[in-house]
Amino acid sequence: MIFKRTAAHILNRIIILVPAMLLLRGESFLINPSYFIFGKGGQSGWLILWLFKYLACLPLVFLDLIRQPLEIVKIVEIILPALLCLITIDVFSIRLIRGDLRMRIMGLKLESLKDSLLSLVQILTRTIIKYLLLAFFPLVLVYIFLNKENTVLYDRVSSTKIIKT
């Protein structure tokens, strides 16, 4: 099940990259178009490329924070639109098809431990914690191997579980 979930996660990154990039492009232009294209204070940064980099591989945030610890405010300022975009896509897909596309392809389904339908609070909690852990502390995913149920921390906190269909 762990390897199936890992493969599903990689597959999800590939599937949602194009819709996420389109949503992110619109989002960044709404927030501050000149900042994400040309940088701040006259520095030509092309920061939108950082946004796309984080969409493709979110743990790069963690590596950027290690390499440039003094740039934490800039990195967080840049990662927030990318996180918002990924969270939005995940919440809509989980709400509509009780999982995301990767789960459907891999034969997995997200369910509530409370024996009821997934609530919006559970979905939001799970998704926000998942992306924050993945972005800022990718080593926390080792938690899967350390517990008996082979669950991830965000599933435990949000009272959800992944099952085979």
* Under 8 Å between Cβ of 161 and 111: yes
pLDDT in tens, 32-84: 666 655 556 555 455 666 667 777 777 788 788 888 888 888 777 777 777 88
- Write down how long the chain is: 165
3-state DSSP assignment of residue 109:
strand
Q: Which two tokens stand for residue 19?
A: 């819709």
Report DSSP state, residue 140. Answer: G
pLDDT for residue 14: 75
Distance between CA atoms of residues 78 and 72, nearest Å: 10
pLDDT above 70 as % of the chain: 74
3-state SS of 56-69 is: HCCCHHHHHHHHCH
pLDDT for residue 82: 77
Q: Using only C-alpha atoms, what is the Rg of the chain?
A: 17
Higher pLDDT, 17 or 163: 163
pTM of the model: 0.73
| Mean pLDDT within 146-162 | 81
165 Cβ contact partners less than 8 Å away, ≥ 6 residues apart: 107, 108, 109
Residue with tokens 């940088």: 39
pLDDT for residue 140: 65
Residue with tokens 């963690």: 62
As a whole number of Å, the end-to-end CA separation of the chain is: 12
Q: Which two tokens stand for residue 42?
A: 């006259």
